[in-house]
């Protein structure tokens, strides 16, 4: 799965919680910090690191419980996209 596809999957799920703009800019910023770039493929480990970072940010808006369920949704969306390839 490419970085772009990963970002799109994250934005689709997190958009209703924190808005498309924030979801995209936060995900892209975390990707950059984690060294996940452009059209390169993203490893499962990198996806987990990204989800961990995003979960920390979401905690502030949603609380731990809801944040964890949103991150589970993202994980499922990414898995579904990968399966559909």
Q: How far is the CB of 83 from another protein (least distance, A)?
A: 28
Cβ proximity to another protein: between 36 and 57 the closer is 57
Q: How many degrees, rounded to 5, is the angle at CA 35 between CA 32 and CA 40?
A: 100
Helix (H, G, I), strand (E, B) or coil at 2: strand
Residue 2 β-bridge partners? 41
Q: Is 15 left (phi over 0), alpha (psi -120 to 50) or beta?
A: alpha
Q: What is the DSSP letter of 39?
A: T
Cβ proximity to another protein: between 40 and 61 the closer is 61
Considering only the stretches 3-11, 42-50, 51-59, 74-82, report the one whose residues sit in contact with another protein under the rule CB under 8 A: 51-59
Give residues 10-39 in contact with another protein (rule: CB under 8 A).
Answer: 15-22, 25-26, 29-30, 33
Residues engaged in binding another protein (CB under 8 A): 15-22, 25-26, 29-30, 33, 53, 56-57, 59-64, 66
């Amino acid at each position: 799965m490419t970085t772009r596809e990963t970002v799109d999957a994250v934005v689709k799920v997190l958009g209703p919680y924190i808005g498309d703009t924030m979801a995209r800019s936060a995900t892209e910023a975390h990707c950059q910090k984690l060294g996940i770039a452009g059209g390169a493929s993203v490893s499962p480990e990198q996806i987990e690191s990204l989800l961990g970072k995003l979960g920390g940010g979401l905690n502030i808006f949603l609380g731990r419980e809801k944040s964890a369920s949103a991150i589970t949704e993202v994980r499922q969306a990414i898995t579904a996209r990968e399966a559909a390839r």
